[in-house]
Amino acid sequence: MAAIYPPSPLTAIAKPRTARRPFPWIPVLLIGTALAYLALFLFVPLAAVFFEAFKKGAGFYWDAIREPDAWSAIRLTLIAAAIAVPLNLVFGIAAAWAIAKFDFRFKSLLITLIDLPFSVSPVISGLIYVLIFGLQGWVGPWLSEHDIKIIFAVPGIVLATIFVTFPFVARELIPLMQAQGREEEEAAAVLGASGWQTLWYVTLPNVKWGLLYGVILCNARAMGEFGAVSVVSGHIRGATNTLPLHVEILYNEYAFAAAFACASLLAFLALITLAIKSVVESRQLKEHRK
Amino acid sequence: MSTTFRRPHSVLPGFNLALGYTLFYLGLIVLIPLSAAFIKTFSLTWESFWATVTAPRVLASYWLTFRTSLLAAAINAVFGLLTAWVLVRYKFPGKRFIDAIVDLPFALPTAVAGIALTAVYAGNGWLGKPLAEMGIKVAFTPLGILVALTFIGLPFVVRTVQPVLEDLEKELEEAAKSLGASSWQTFSRVIFPTVLPAVITGFTLAFARALGEYGSVIFIAGNMPMVSEITPLIIITKLEQYDYSGATAVAVVMLVASFVLLFAINTLQWWARKRRNEEKV
């Protein structure tokens, strides 16, 4: 039975095995329990998304996705991610370069602060921008005098998205670049490479899988963020609705099939993210073993 | 020109630029906006702050959020440890797929998770219907909140325990077995103490995540004041009534709670690393 953790010579001595091994009750029971747990909380809900989306047929599904408000929500979701992900990517590289390649005081405090957005409730992540840019906020009155809208407009959505996806790339790159040490970069510098050349030709190729890993997770969260974006969006259909907010509106209007059709796009994105993540992880493992 | 961030000795260039940009961006996006929440509460008197954050409806929401998050994290600690064990120790068909799908709650947007769980656990849903026939109502009750919070916290314990189990030296178990320990004794005396720090870390991470969760909960919760209204929803409700000071006061209570947890998590991880290193020596 391949299912059992291979017995060592020692156990074989301690407990001589009979010719016919008994049915492996314990492994089967444990695997069964784990699968039941995952089914209840993961598989069944995931299947339900696609089932509900196609309940009224493929034609209805198609129409729900191509409807103008859905399109504008898809567009805004892509725009927010297209701004937030590159900004956090540049930040992640800069932070990892400073933290991994140099020694300075309060480094662990800095790492903790970078992780901070993960421990803040999404609702609060939206709220803090309302407190600054909202009408009653610090710069709100000045903004409204100059006719600049941030809250209940696209810039607010982008800002909230940047906040919630802030740590993703940095927290992937920092441990990876710390583990790789500084010798290769120092060799490049001694041989006359400029800082940018060292970064581009030495450091980044070394961490490319970790970088990709951080970027896809960052992107998944950017496209899927709900709570923070919900606070700053104002839910203006066709203008400030992202795809997750559009799903919520349709759902609250009892347009369940349409809501699940849009939700299935996001679920599909999540599955692609997991597939890329799985491939990247096995690549990383292979390179690590070399 | 502070002594704190003095340029270190290194042949590598770019320290000032990289650290300068890191601090600038961190301040602009995270620190200044977060401090806005704390500064905003100073516009309230202490009495009105206290009255806001201890109103019966708010207190009920803390208790609900706290107990459902704690229970969800506990469920994930037990079954997450089991799942990690199964993934590390056994071979079975579809294992790689299952290993990848464990991270689904990280990748699936919370709103999608919310409506999917509601559809499944509602009175006419795939799992909700048989449960309702047994007299258990899940969706639109605190039990529904527990289901949503268990979903979003599912990967944490699995992912913190998995690497520790993979590193676990087989010699230890073999030694225990050869000395006559039963499987259960080997598990409870040898394996469990080794993975315990990782389980506690994963538990705390799942708990912290659950406390602030909003998207997946509001669809399935029913959102009845005093019964199934979570604290993040209180903040939203206050914002919709343009009660910015009230919303901020509750937000500050939540922020302080999450900072305390963050400190606890950092300490736990430091402790877990120390224990692992000590064992390796």
pLDDT digits (tens, 9 = 90+) for B22-32: 999 999 999 99
Query: Nearest chain A Cα to B30, which residue?
Result: A163
Mean pLDDT of B75-94: 94
**What pLDDT shows up at residue B194?**
87
Interface residue of B38, B108, B168 to substitute, partner A, most A CBs within 10 Å = B108
Instruction: For chain B, say whether A287 makes contact (Cβ under 8 Å).
Output: no
Between helix B32-41 and helix B244-280 the angle, nearest 10°, is 130
The residue among B277, B81, B99, B71 whose CA lies nearest residue B188 is B81
Asked if B6 has any chain A CB less than 8 Å from its own CB, the reply is yes
* Chain A contacts in chain B segment 220-249 (CB below 8 A): 232, 235-236, 239, 244, 247-248
Name every chain A residue with its beta carbon within 8 A of the beta carbon of B30: 113, 116-117, 163, 166
**Apex CA A57: angle with CA A54 and CA A63, to 5°?**
90
Tell me what pLDDT residue B8 has.
Answer: 53
Query: Distance (Å) from the C-alpha of residue A200 to the closest C-alpha of chain B?
Result: 13
Q: Look at residue B275 in the predicted model and tell me its pLDDT.
A: 77
Amino acid found at B140: F
Nearest Cα to Cα of residue A228 among A138, A278, A162, A140: A162
Q: What residue of B is the nearest CA neighbor of A46?
A: B116
- CB of B4 within 8 Å of a chain A CB? The answer is yes
- Interchain contact, B177 vs A163, CB within 8 Å: no
CA A160 from chain center: how many Å? 15
Q: What's the mean pLDDT in B37-64?
A: 93
Read off the pLDDT of each residue in B215-228 and give the average, rounded to a whole number. Answer: 92
Contacts of B205 (CB under 8 A, 6+ apart): B153, B156, B160, B265
Closest residue by Cα to residue B144 from B166, B170, B125, B167: B125
Higher-confidence position of B7 and A113:
A113
- For an interface test with B, the pick among A15, A88, A123 (most B C-beta atoms closer than 10 Å) comes out as A123
B104, B251, B255 member nearest A46 (Cβ) = B104
**Residue A275 to residues A213, B5, B140, Cα–Cα distance (Å):** 11, 41, 33
- Provide the ipTM: 0.88
What pLDDT is stored for residue A1 in this prediction?
A: 41
Query: Residue B26 in 3-state DSSP?
Result: helix
**In chain A, residues 118-157 whose CB comes closer than 8 Å to chain B:** 119-124, 127-132, 134, 136-138
Give the pLDDT confidence of B96-131 residue by residue, as tens digits: 999 999 999 999 999 999 999 999 999 899 999 999
Residue bearing tokens 């998770």: B113
Express each pLDDT in A104-132 by its tens digit: 989 989 999 999 999 899 999 999 999 99
Q: Which residues, at least 6 apart from B236, have a Cβ–Cβ distance to it below 8 Å?
A: A123, A230, A231, B214, B247
Structure confidence at residue B280 (pLDDT): 60
CB contacts of B261 in chain A (<8 Å) are 119
Pick the residue from chain B with its C-alpha nearest to A2. Answer: B91
A113:B36 CB<8 A = no
Stretch 68-87 of chain A: residues touching chain B, C-beta under 8 Å? 87
| Integer Cα distance of A94 and A86 in angstroms | 12
Rounded distance between C-alpha atoms, residue B28 and residue B23, angstroms: 8
- B13 pLDDT tier (thresholds 50, 70, 90): confident
Tens of pLDDT, residues B175-221? 888 888 888 888 888 889 889 989 999 999 999 999 999 999 999 99
The DSSP symbol for A19 reads S
- B156-B66-B149 Cα angle (round to 5): 40
- Residue B190's pLDDT is 86
Residue identified by tokens 């979903």 is: B151
Contact at CB, A124 and B255, closer than 8 angstroms:
yes
In sequence order, which residues have a C-beta less than 8 Å from that of residue A184 and are 6 or more positions away?
A202, A203, A206
- CB contact (8 A) between residue A2 and residue B91: yes
| B262 contacts in chain A (CB < 8 Å) | 112, 115-116, 119
What pLDDT sits at residue A26?
A: 86
End-to-end CA distance of chain A: 31
| Confidence label for B152 from pLDDT (cuts 50, 70 and 90) | very high
pLDDT score recorded for residue B270? 84
User: Rounded to whole angstroms, how far apart are CA atoms A112 and A100?
Assistant: 15
- Burial class of A205 by CB neighbour count within 10 A (0 to 12, 13 to 18, 19+): exposed
For A16, which residue in chain B has the nearest alpha carbon? B178
Mean pLDDT by 10 residues, chain A (290 residues): 48 50 84 94 95 92 91 94 97 95 90 91 95 87 89 93 96 92 90 91 92 94 95 82 94 93 95 93 80
CB proximity A168 to B under 8 Å: no
Phi-psi domain of B109 (left: phi exceeds 0; alpha: psi -120 through 50; beta: other): beta
Which chain B residues contact residue A55 at CB under 8 A?
Answer: none
| DSSP output for A147-175 | T---TTSHHHHHHHHHHHHTTHHHHHHHH
| Nearest chain B residue to A231, by CA | B236
Each residue's pLDDT tens digit, A34-57: 999 999 999 999 999 999 999 999
Q: What is the pLDDT of residue A85?
A: 97
Are the beta carbons of A103 and B147 separated by less than 8 Å? no
Closest chain A residue to the Cα of B217, Cα to Cα: A227
A138 phi and psi, to 5 degrees? Answer: -60, -55
Could A226 and B11 be called an inter-chain contact, meaning their C-beta atoms sit closer than 8 Å? no
Residues on chain A touching B266 (C-beta within 8 angstroms): 112
CB–CB of A121/A226 below 8 Å?
Answer: no
Nearest residue, CB atoms, B120 vs list A8, A26, A44: A44
B177 against B235, higher pLDDT: B235
CB B20 within 8 A of CB B7: no
Tokens of A229: 């974006």
All residues at 6 or more sequence positions from A25 whose CB lies less than 8 Å from its CB, including other chains: none
Name the residue facing B154 among A42, A123, A223 (closest C-beta).
A42
Asked if B112 lies within 8 A of A263 by C-beta distance, the reply is: yes
